[in-house]
Structure 1
Amino acid sequence: MNLHEYQAKELLKKYHVPTQEGIPVETPEAAAEAYKQLRVQHGGEYAVVKAQIHAGGRGKGKIQGSEQRGVAVGKNAEEIKTIARNILGGVLVTKQTGPAGKKVNKVLVAQDVYYPGPNPTKEFYLAVLLDRATGKNVIMYSTEGGMDIEEVAAQTPEKIFKEWVHPSGMLQGFQARKIAFNLGLKGESFKNMVRFVSSLYNAYVGLDCSMLEINPLFKTSDEKIIAVDCKMNLDDNALMRHSDLEALRDINEEDPTEVEAGKYNLNYVKLDGNVGCMVNGAGLAMATMDMIKLSGGEPANFLDVGGTANAQTVEAGFRIILKDPKVKAILINIFGGIVRCDRVAQGVIDAYQSIGTIDIPIIVRLQGTNAEAAKELIEQSGLKVQSAILLSEAAALVNKAVA
Structure 2
Amino acid sequence: MKVHEYQAKEFFAHYGLPVDSPILCRTVDECVDAYHRLGSGRVVVKAQVHTGGRGKAGGVKLAASEEEVRKVASDILGMTIKGYVVDRVLVTEAVNIDKEYYVSILIDRKSKSPLMMLSRAGGMDIEQVAKETPEKIEKIVIDPLIGMADFQARAAAYKLFDDKAVVKQAIPLFKNLYRLFMEKDASLAEINPLVLTKEGQLKAIDAKMTFDNNALYRHPDVAELNEPTEDEKKELYAKSKGFSYVNLGGNIGCMVNGAGLAMATMDMIKLYGGNPANFLDIGGSSNPEKIVDAMNLLMSDQHVKVILINIFGGITRCDDVAKGLLEAFKSIKTDMPIVIRLTGTNAEEGRRLLQNSHFIVATTMADAGHKAVEAMNNL
Bin for the TM-score computed over the shorter chain: 0.7 to 0.9
Q: Distance in 1 between matches of 2:181 and 2:348?
A: 47
> 1:305-347 CA distances to partner (integer Å, 9 max, x unpaired)?
3567854343222112123343342222344678786776566
1:394 paired to 2:376:
no
The question of 1:60 aligning with 2:56 is answered yes
Moved more, 348-357 or 128-137: 348-357
Shift in CA distance, 389/211, structure 1 to aligned 2, threshold 3 Å: farther
Query: What does the per-residue CA deviation read over 1:118-150, in whole Å, with 9 as the maximum and x for residues that have no partner?
Result: xxx211011221222332221111000011112
The 1:247–1:335 alpha-carbon spacing in structure 2 relative to 1, beyond 3 Å, is farther
- Please report the RMSD computed on the Cα atoms of aligned residues, expressed in angstroms: 2.9
Q: Does 1:108 align with 2:61?
A: no
- Equivalent residue for 1:324? 301
**Is 1:35 equivalent to 2:35 in the alignment?**
yes
User: Partner residue of 2:18?
Assistant: 18
User: What amino acid does structure 1 have at the position aligned with 2:143?
Assistant: H
Q: State which drifts further: 390-399 or 12-21.
A: 390-399
Distance 1:309 1:3 in 2: 38
Distance 1:234 1:382, change over 3 A: farther
Letter in 1 for 2:270: K
- Percent identical across equivalent pairs? 42
Asked whether the equivalents of residues 339 and 362 of structure 2 are also in contact (C-alpha less than 8 Å), the reply is: no
Q: Cα–Cα, structure 1 residues 385 and 21, in superposed 2: closer, same or farther, change >3 Å? A: same
Q: Distance in 2 between matches of 1:158 and 1:313?
A: 51
Letter paired with 2:91:
V
User: Which residue identity does 2:8 align to in structure 1?
Assistant: A
Question: Which of 252, 256, 265 is equivalent to 1:275?
Answer: 252
1:384 aligns with 2:349: no
| Equivalent-residue separation in structure 2 for 1:288 and 1:345 (angstroms) | 19
The code of the aligned residue for 2:357 comes to L
1:296 to 266, 269, 273: 273
Letter in 1 for 2:9: K
CA–CA separation in structure 2 for the residues paired with 1:366 and 1:224: 67
2:76 pairs with 1:76: no
Deviation at 1:249, TM superposition (A): 1.4
Q: Secondary structure at the match of 2:141?
A: strand
Q: Distance in 2 between matches of 1:23 and 1:318?
A: 44
Distance in 1 between residues matched to 2:287 and 2:120, nearest whole Å:
54
**Which residue of 74, 82, 87 corresponds with 2:76?**
87
Distance in 2 between residues matched to 1:281 and 1:212, nearest whole Å:
35
Q: 1:339, 1:23 → 2: CA distance?
A: 57
Q: Judge conservation of contact 2:101–2:121 (CA < 8 Å) in 1.
A: yes
Q: Any gaps of 5 or more consecutive residues in structure 1? A: 62-68, 116-120
* Offset from partner CA, 1:172-223 (integer Å, 9 cap, x none): 2222111111112322210111111111111111111122221111122333
Aligned length: 377
Could you tell me whether the CA contact under 8 Å between 1:318 and 1:348 is conserved in 2? Answer: no
Partner of 1:363: 340
> How far, CA to CA, are the matches of 1:242 and 1:328 in structure 2?
40
Q: Distance in 2 between matches of 1:167 and 1:343?
A: 50
Following superposition of structure 1 onto structure 2, how do residues 155-170 of structure 1 map, counting pairs within 5 Å? 155-170=132-147
Extract unaligned runs of 5+ from structure 2: none
CA distance in 1, matches of 2:141, 2:19: 24
Change (3 A) 1:229 1:332: same
Instruction: Tell me which moved more, 334-343 or 27-36.
Output: 334-343
Counterpart residue identity of residue 401, structure 1: A
* Secondary structure class of the residue paired with 2:116: strand
The answer to whether the Cα contact below 8 Å between 1:53 and 1:253 also exists between their aligned partners in 2 is no
- Establish whether residue 4 from structure 1 lines up as the match of residue 21 from structure 2: no
d(CA) in 2 for partners of 1:166, 1:183: 21
CA 1:341/1:129 → structure 2, altered by over 3 Å: closer, same or farther?
Answer: farther
Equivalent-residue separation in structure 1 for 2:129 and 2:56 (angstroms): 16
Superposition map of 1:44-59 within 5 A? 44-59=40-55
Aligned pairs (5 A) from 1:215-230: 215-230=192-207
When residues 343 and 48 of structure 1 are mapped into structure 2, their CA distance, relative to the original with a 3 A threshold, is: farther
Cα shift at 1:390:
4.6
SS at match of 2:203: strand
AA paired with 2:108?
Answer: D
In the other structure, the counterpart of 1:64 is: none
Counterpart in 2 of 1:196? 173
Q: CA deviation at 1:103?
A: 0.8
Q: How far apart in 2 are the matches of 1:170 and 1:295?
A: 49
Cα gap change, 1:285/1:72 in structure 2, threshold over 3 Å: closer, same or farther?
same
Q: TM-score when scaled to structure 2? A: 0.88
Q: 1:361 to 1:145 in 2, by over 3 A?
A: same
